[in-house]
A and B are shown apart, each in its own frame.
Chain A
Amino acid sequence: DVKVTQSSRYLVKRTGEKVFLECVQDMDHENMFWYRQDPGLGLRLIYFSYDVKMKEKGDIPEGYSVSREKKERFSLILESASTNQTSMYLCASSRRGPYEQYFGPGTRLTVT
């Protein structure tokens, strides 16, 4: 059974804190993605990676960075959390090409 896991389901952080969201997949997928989901806006792509150490900006990369040191792990970093980064964060992975993405359970982050 394919699996994408995320480090936390719920997270509460304070403004200015550095936040790490971890994502691990066990399917040997080349591609990994980070999205945020806000009401009425659907899934918006923050960053994606198509190989180890490779990354591409998505539609809303400002305030975020990513790290992919190993194929199975893709980390999203909020360098200095702000209240407008309160959201649901979803990680996904896929094979290279037009294949379906497999999603993790999501992390609901609240920044106070």
Chain B
Amino acid sequence: ILNVEQSPQSLHVQEGDSTNFTCSFPSSNFYALHWYRWETAKSPEALFVMTLNGDEKKKGRISATLNTKEGYSYLYIKGSQPEDSATYLCASTMYNNNDMRFGAGTRLTVKP
């Protein structure tokens, strides 16, 4: 079983704060790392897919980095807004596997 761990489990920030979360994963046979955003009463939606060591992806105020050698990824949110409130999931795929293993998620609450 692939152990994907995320921290912190939950986070409360004020509107305008910048924040970041961590995802750690086994680095052996690594293939891809995914970040998803899951808003309450909706389905998880993909934010990023990263495959190469040193990859950085950005979408608006959200960005992510990947270190495959040490097995971690960071997700950053700049200037958090209340609409960023959601659970952020990371998931890892191993080489020659079709399945994906998810972490337990970081639940972000942004207070106005």
Of B61-69, B71-79, B100-108, the one contacting chain A is B100-108
A42 near B99 with CB under 8 A, answer no
Q: How many residues of B contact A (CB 8 A)?
A: 24
Q: Considering the chains assembled together, what is the distance between the CA atoms of A100 and B93 in angstroms?
A: 11
Tell me if A42 and B51 are in contact (CB < 8 A).
Answer: no
Query: Would B34 and A100 count as touching, CB distance under 8 A?
Result: yes
Proximity string of chain B (90-112) to chain A, C-beta cutoff 8 Å, 1 when within and 0 when not: 01010000111111110000000
Tell which of B43, B45, B101 touches A104, judged by Cβ atoms closer than 8 Å. B43
A79 adjacent to chain B (CB < 8 Å)? no
In contact, A43 and B102 (Cβ under 8 angstroms): yes
Contact of A50 with B98 at beta-carbon distance under 8 Å, contacts A98-B32, A106-B43 already known: yes
Give every chain B residue within 8 A of A105 (Cβ-Cβ): 42-43
Assess the B104–A41 pair: CB atoms within 8 A: yes
Known: A48-B98, A58-B99, A98-B49. A43 touches B89 (CB 8 A): yes
Contact: A45 with B101, CB < 8 Å?
yes
* B6 smallest CB distance to A (angstroms): 8
Query: For the complex, what is the distance from the CA of A50 to the CA of B105, rounded to whole Å?
Result: 25
Listed in ascending order, the chain B residues whose CB lies under 8 Å from chain A are 1, 6, 9, 31-32, 34, 42-46, 49, 51, 89, 91, 93, 98-105
A and B contact pairs by CB, cutoff 8 A, 25 listed: A4-B43, A31-B98, A33-B100, A35-B102, A40-B9, A41-B104, A42-B6, A42-B104, A42-B105, A43-B102, A48-B99, A56-B99, A59-B101, A90-B43, A90-B44, A98-B51, A98-B93, A99-B49, A100-B46, A101-B34, A101-B44, A101-B46, A103-B43, A104-B43, A105-B43
